[in-house]
Amino acid sequence: MKIIIDERGKKYIVNGESDFHSDLGILKKDSIKNASIGDTLTTHLDKEFKVIKANVNDFIDLMTRRCSILIQKDIGVVISHTGIGYGSRIVDAGTGAGAIALNFGNIIGDTGKVYTYEIREDFAKIATENIANFGLNNIEVKNKDIKEGIDEKELDLIFLDLPQPYDIFENCYTALNLGGWIAIYAPYIDQIQTSYRIAKKIGFTSISIIETLEREIEVRNQGTRPKTRMVGHSGYLLFARKL
């Protein structure tokens, strides 16, 4: 599997098993299959595509998904705030299309492990296919309701994107290492308020709530200024630590 990018900056996944068709012309499957990173492929309409070395964000942009996913500004805060890295053990629920599980798996290396719980069978199937296509072997998709119990212990992070995450906070506390984190994503303030109160009651410490807003800056001939549109509210993030 390769990712190619056209002269407009639009990206595509190609596998070399069939010809690639677009409004810019046709690329023959043999030329795709034999191409290496950095090569330029030319269609029958003389339009050029570059073969790029894709990272996890390129893949997530193009992968199959039938649900909304966490965006980069929130994923980045979770990774940096909790300090996960090489060798970390992580539980994630619910999986959705697998975007945050892929980000976790991409940084924890071969000695780490991500266990991602998804109650819906159709979503679990899509996530399994996406993870396999990206080529990671350190993520296990579990078609299971995490409220039935967390199978894993000695975890460094439990990430929950659930309607009522606080229902399993006691199980989370038991499953975490000393020093481990829970991170909660919730679109509504009442979810995060309830999560805060219950996390504090159970004994979690270092509890904080974060909302990240992203504003891009544009450079024009007339001058430099913030873009009129920005990535505003997507969700609230709650962090709490077992100490």
CA–CA separation, 147 vs 99, rounded Å?
21
| Burial group, residue 4, by CB count within 10 angstroms (0-12, 13-18, 19+) | buried
Going by the annotation, the residues of the binding site for S-adenosyl-L-methionine are 118, 145, 161
Half-sphere exposure of 68 (CA within 13 A, CB side): 8
CA–CA separation, 81 vs 83, rounded Å?
6
Cα of 121 vs its chain's centroid, Å: 19
Would strands 2-6 and 48-52 be described as parallel, antiparallel, or unpaired? antiparallel
What is the chain's length? 243
Q: What are phi and psi of 32, to 5 degrees?
A: -65, -45
Count CB-CB contacts under 10 A for residue 39. 15
